[in-house]
Amino acid sequence: MPAHPAWRITLPHSAAAVPLARALVRTALADADAPADGDTAELLTAELVANAVQHTPPLAPIELAVELLANGCQVEVHDGDPQPPGDLSARPGDAHPDPWQEHGRGLLLIRTLSSACGHRRTPHGKAVWFTLPSRRLLPADARPRRP
């Protein structure tokens, strides 16, 4: 049994996976005592799931894992392709992506908005993950404001 509450779901290998993943993250964080920023978690999860759908073979399973931590949350997207994603570490020039490019901003968002991110090989492919801190751990001026 995990030390912290966790949710895991197999997603369809289609565009329908993105709203399902967002809904699971929203539900998981709504149940949290010290939730991370739900809007950011949903956005970053959508980016990871969309990448998995787009860049893996159509029959490869995609799985979403959300774990609530004492100080925030960790989200992982597992897919059947062992090839690592694009670079998840910061690079010079990342602050100003090409405004004319249609793709390539997802990993930049993950690197910029998460407190940590990375990937690891799994027996069936890879897992790409990010963590977000609890909102209460953020400075008051960095906390998202609700209307």
SS3 content of the chain, % helix, strand, coil (to 5): 30, 25, 40
Choose between 112 and 89: higher pLDDT: 112
Backbone angles phi, psi at 63, to 5 degrees: -130, 140
pLDDT in tens, 3-13: 677 899 999 99
Ranges of beta strands (E only) in the chain are: 6-11, 62-69, 72-79, 116-122, 125-133
pLDDT of residue 85: 86
Of the candidates 35, 9, 34, the residue with the CA atom closest to the CA atom of residue 24:
9
Q: Is the pLDDT of residue 62 over 90?
A: yes
- Separation between Cα atoms, residue 37 and residue 135, nearest integer Å: 6
pTM for the complete prediction? 0.81
pLDDT of residue 97: 54
**For residues 136-142, average pLDDT:** 53
| Domain ranges within the chain, ordered by starting residue | 6-93+103-141
Q: Look at 17-26, 56-65, 89-98 and tell me which has the smallest mean pLDDT.
A: 89-98
The fold for domain 6-93+103-141 equals Heat Shock Protein 90 (3.30.565)
Q: Is the pLDDT of residue 61 over 70?
A: yes
